[in-house]
């Protein structure tokens, strides 16, 4: 999508996708269907079709000098895959993301994988810390229970001593 004669915006990408989506299962469509997308503006429709021709996505059939639109527009091989992969809107969004972040989608995917790996390691560390805290809590509880037990035992022995030797 780089070096195109039309500077692309989300709205322009949507128009280009609309042209390609107009084909549906057909290989050729009449130009009046494209003209409908552009609300009758033939010269604007012709500019967009020229862009699609430059990108080898469509071919123009029955073009006459002086008439902005050809009789029919045919889709090239690969258009269906192009649309299934998100068309112009998705490519625009990916390019915008790349411009905004300064990173390619490949770099972002790698960064995402690294972050997922770090999250997994942090979760393991957190579980380990929770187990250690639980064990320490059990040890503290056991120590206090033992102290209370020894204190009660001492009190019982003291009471027994005074009862026996009184």
pLDDT score of 1: 41
Question: Are 95 and 15 in a shared domain?
Answer: yes
Q: What is the pLDDT of residues 96-145, one digit of tens each?
A: 877 777 777 777 788 889 999 999 999 999 999 999 999 999 999 999 99
Answer yes or no: is 130 within a domain. yes
Structural domain span for residue 94:
10-102
Q: What would the mean pLDDT of 64-82 be, rounded to a whole number?
A: 87
pLDDT score of 15: 92
Question: Are 26 and 94 in a shared domain?
Answer: yes
Cβ atoms of 12 and 87 within 8 Å: the answer is no
Question: Are 23 and 69 in a shared domain?
Answer: yes
C-alpha span between 164 and 1 (Å, rounded): 101
Residue recorded with tokens 């033992």: 146
Label residue 5 by pLDDT band (50, 70, 90). Answer: low
Torsion angles phi and psi, residue 56, rounded to 5: 60, 40
Answer yes or no: is 1 within a domain. no
Q: What would the mean pLDDT of 8-16 be, rounded to a whole number?
A: 90
What predicted TM-score, i.e. pTM, was given to this entire model? Answer: 0.56
C-alpha span between 78 and 118 (Å, rounded): 39
- String of DSSP letters for 7-60: ---HHHHHHHHHHHHTTTT-SEEEHHHHHHHTTT-HHHHHHHHHHHHHTTSEEE
Label residue 3 by pLDDT band (50, 70, 90). Answer: very low
Strands lying side by side in the sheet with 28-30: 28-30, 72-75, 58-61
Answer yes or no: is 4 within a domain. no
What is the number of structural domains in the chain? Answer: 2
Q: What would the mean pLDDT of 34-59 be, rounded to a whole number?
A: 90
Can you tell me whether residue 103 is helix, strand or coil? coil
Question: Are 17 and 75 in a shared domain?
Answer: yes
Question: Are 36 and 95 in a shared domain?
Answer: yes
**pLDDT exceeds 70 at position 4:** no
Give percent above pLDDT 70 in the chain. Answer: 96
Q: Could you give the angle at which helices 87-101 and 105-164 cross, rounded to 10 degrees?
A: 70
Q: What would the mean pLDDT of 15-44 be, rounded to a whole number?
A: 90
C-alpha span between 162 and 156 (Å, rounded): 10
For residue 108, the number of C-alpha atoms closer than 13 Å in the C-beta half-sphere is 11
Q: What would the mean pLDDT of 43-51 be, rounded to a whole number?
A: 90
What is the rounded average pLDDT for all residues in the chain? 88
C-alpha span between 109 and 32 (Å, rounded): 42
Question: Are 95 and 75 in a shared domain?
Answer: yes
């Amino acid at each position: 999508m780089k070096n195109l004669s039309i500077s692309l915006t989300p709205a322009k990408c949507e128009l280009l996708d609309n042209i390609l989506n107009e084909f549906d299962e057909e290989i050729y469509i009449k130009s009046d269907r494209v003209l409908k997308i552009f609300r009758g503006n033939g010269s604007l429709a012709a500019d967009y079709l020229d862009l699609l021709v430059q990108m080898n996505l469509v071919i123009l059939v029955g073009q006459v000098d002086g008439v902005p639109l050809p009789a029919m527009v045919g889709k090239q091989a690969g258009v269906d895959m192009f649309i299934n992969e998100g068309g112009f809107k998705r490519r625009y969004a990916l390019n915008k993301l790349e411009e905004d972040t300064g990173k390619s989608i490949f770099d972002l995917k790698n960064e995402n994988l690294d972050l997922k790996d770090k999250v997994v390691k942090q979760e393991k560390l957190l579980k380990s810390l929770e187990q250690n805290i639980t064990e320490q809590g059990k040890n503290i509880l056991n120590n206090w229970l033992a102290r209370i037990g020894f204190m009660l035992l001492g009190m019982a022995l003291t009471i027994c001593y005074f009862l026996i030797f009184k």
